[in-house]
Amino acid sequence: MQAILDNWPLLIDGLVVTIEISIYVIVFGTLIGLVGGLSLLYGGSVLRGLFRAYVDIIRGLPLLVTIFLIFYGIPAVGIPMDKFPAAVLALSFFAGGHMSEIIRGAVGSIPKGQMDAAASIGLTFFPRLRYVILPQAIRRIVPPWVNLCVELIKGTSLVSLVSITDLLLSAQQILERTAQPIPFYILTAAIYFVLCYSMATLGGRLEKRFAYYD
Amino acid sequence: MGYSLNFNPIWENWDKLLLGLGLGLLITVISLFVGAIIGLLAAFARTSGNPTISRVAAGYVEIMRNVPFLLVIFFVYFGFPTLVPDQTSSLIVAMAIYSGAYMTEIFRAGILAVSKGFLEAGKSIGLTNWQVIRFVTLPIMFRVVLPSLSNTLIGLFKDTSLGAAISVPELTYQGMVINTNYWRIIESWTAVGALYLATCYSLAFLLRRIEHRFAQWA
Amino acid sequence: MIETEPKGQMPGGPGGGKNIIVIEDLQKRFGHLEVLKGVDLKVDQGEVVVVIGPSGSGKTTMLRCINFLEEYNGGRIYVDGELVGYREKGGKLVRRSEGEIARMRADVAMVFQSFNLFPHMTALENVALGPIQVRKVPKDQAYEKAKALLARVGLADKLDSYPSKLSGGQQQRVGIARALAMEPKIILFDEVTSALDPELVGEVLAVMKQLAQSHGVTMLVVTHEMMFAREVANRVVFMDGGKVVEEGKPEELFSNPQTERLRTFLKRFFEH
């Protein structure tokens, strides 16, 4: 118990890093996913092909391999990059690929008649998306998006393997000194649980907010 | 490393990479099997109607869904050195416990998909509860859950990569070894990545063929 | 009683005689399937033209080419003198820009068989969206106009209802109001009662009848409702196999069909 209290600040530092990375990755991932999903649906053959390759590669690779590839690969080809941005880049790459599939699925499931009706009153492409398609798609995007966000938050724990002091690495560093694995891992698990469960609850609220019709 | 690609160390160690891949697949299958048993039991617990058992199972599922897999691995490996002696079995145990939670939800959906009518028909010809489960529930459920299980299997295979964190000699770890010895980062991770891609898509293809075969029973 | 609203029609003439739609030798393929094999059709301002024909005759496809929801492969379509979807450049057809196509679509309104109301918007918002975002009408004005239009189609008490809470007939009437809100040069009706339960068809046809008799709205209607065609159309067009086979005044066409195909079609139809 004493050990926990002594090392609390280190744990908090790690938690902050985890939260920081999670936010960056979720934001970047969602942006990439929006571009990717819409490109897969409405883009020309070049754009579609590029994103198809991107998504199919990301989905076939473990997150850890993606992280190693980008984290060690970029400096190896001579581009200098700090650890933190490299990790965020790698995780965002992963996130964007999965996010693109989610958005492609949700937006693609909106009946074609909606696009027809929006076009027939004279709306051009982007206003069609903005006023008619996306407001309907967002309801179908939220649940898988929330699931992906939870997986991403859990995925940030992998940066501990490239020496970024997130929550998991902080816990392990403390463990080296105190050597009581079980209680510490349970505590760390509890913190992750709170993080992820909050995200899921937030997601539930978002779902309700967008279900204001039928 | 510069810009000159040199794949020689990769070809020289190709056998080690393939062994790692094989180990990963083996771990996946074993963990899937054990995890499926856990998941099935927990799913029956969730649908049993007994509130206590149901809540315990639900708690188990919630915990595993909100905690990183890497943490579970460390918990098993570092927390129980006497019970799970080596890295590979730690990984299998961790994976079985973790995936069991996800499979609980899959099996629960499967159980609920077996409509009452079938169960009543089974009972009305005199089958005991266990026989109903064996001859009615499980076969019907199997077809319903097959697609989700396929996805789970591929996901598990990708998750075996985390075994590298505790030096399980699967594919990712072999990649790390090559890096330490030869420092051919781009080549090694590209090769490892290509192997994962090839395996995952082959698995997906195979599993879809199996699904089609079974779908004919519908 | 419905008031006439001849806005959106051609300036200058009080109507009559001016071709709003000219279709010349229209051709359309879907892959290897030729659906339109040379359609010729003219619609005058203020006319109510009803198109009948068996399924597969290409009626809906022709309609969707007029507002360029389908691109056509041959021939020409002119709406109010402008070539639809393409520019003529040195004898060749070059696709118009997205903006131009959208501008032309705003003047050609469509009412759909499957309603296609925007489910995330109330009836009022559905009707007002076009005027606000496309015609750039200020919001209050647009909502006022939308209210009036919905009252005109008999839905004054459903302004704030979402489509999921409306019956099929009500939804379709909102669709008609949405089309009217754009003050179009012509309204295209694509089998708008085919997806409705029989008891709801009447209310929609009644609205369309009133529109037709107000003599302000040019209407091109694809339908199976022969009674409607008889009572309301200025002209009936019979299509079969991707071409116009016969056309004429409803009294003449129905009582004295000239072609064998129309005779067969009418016989089959009135036998049910």
Is residue B23 included in any domain, yes or no?
A: yes
Is residue B22 included in any domain, yes or no?
A: yes
How large is the average pLDDT for residues C105-120?
94
**pLDDT number for residue B2:** 52
More confidently predicted of B73 and C14 = B73
**Phi then psi for C192, rounded to 5 degrees?**
-70, -15
**pLDDT number for residue C12:** 36
Is residue B202 included in any domain, yes or no?
A: yes
Which tokens go with C240? Answer: 């079969």
C257 with C266: CB under 8 angstroms? yes
Give the chains touching B; criterion: ≥3 Cβ pairs < 8 Å. A
Residues of A in Cβ contact (< 8 Å) with C178: 121
Residue pLDDT, tens place only, A3-46: 667 788 888 999 999 999 999 999 999 999 999 999 999 999 99
How distant is the Cα of B77 from the closest Cα of chain A, in angstroms?
Answer: 10
**pLDDT number for residue A178:** 77
**pLDDT number for residue B121:** 80
C196 with C168: CB under 8 angstroms? yes
**pLDDT number for residue A177:** 81
* Torsion angle of the four alpha carbons A67, A73, A75, A76, in this order, in degrees rounded to the nearest 10: 150
Least CB-CB distance to A135: which of C107, C120, C182? C120
Our count of domains for chain B comes to: 1
Residue pLDDT, tens place only, A43-97: 999 999 999 999 999 999 999 999 999 999 888 888 888 999 999 999 999 999 9
**pLDDT number for residue C17:** 59
Is residue B78 included in any domain, yes or no?
A: yes
**pLDDT number for residue B216:** 64
A109 interfaces chain C, CB cutoff of 8 Å: no
How large is the average pLDDT for residues A94-115?
96
- Give C174's Cβ-side CA count (13 Å radius): 32
Residue pLDDT, tens place only, A124-182: 999 999 999 999 999 999 999 999 999 999 999 999 999 999 999 999 988 888 777 88
**pLDDT number for residue C11:** 39
Q: Scanning the structure block, which residue is given the tokens 């999965």?
A: A98
Domains of chain A: 2-209 (1.10.3720.10)
DSSP codes joined into one string, A67-115: HHHHHHHHHHTT----HHHHHHHHHHHHHHHHHHHHHHHHHHTS-HHHH
Please indicate whether chains B and C are in contact, defined as at least 3 beta carbon pairs under 8 Å: no
Is residue B191 included in any domain, yes or no?
A: yes
Is residue B88 included in any domain, yes or no?
A: yes
Confidence of residue C2 (pLDDT cuts 50, 70, 90): very low
Is residue B194 included in any domain, yes or no?
A: yes
What CATH number did the domain enclosing B183 receive?
A: 1.10.3720.10
**pLDDT number for residue C248:** 93
Least CB-CB distance to A60: which of B67, B185, B201? B201
**pLDDT number for residue C20:** 92
Closest CA to B92 of B150, B52, B34, B146: B34
Average pLDDT over all residues of chain C? 89
Confidence of residue C272 (pLDDT cuts 50, 70, 90): low
* Chain A residue whose CA is closest to C162: A213
Residues 6+ apart with CB under 8 A from C215: C4, C6, C15, C46
How large is the average pLDDT for residues C120-140?
95
**pLDDT number for residue B217:** 58
Cross-chain Cβ contact B67/A189 below 8 Å: yes
**pLDDT number for residue B142:** 80
Is residue B1 included in any domain, yes or no?
A: no
Of B204-213, C86-95, C164-173, highest mean pLDDT: C164-173
Pick out chain B residues at pLDDT < 70: 1-3, 215-218
Owning domain of residue B26: 8-217
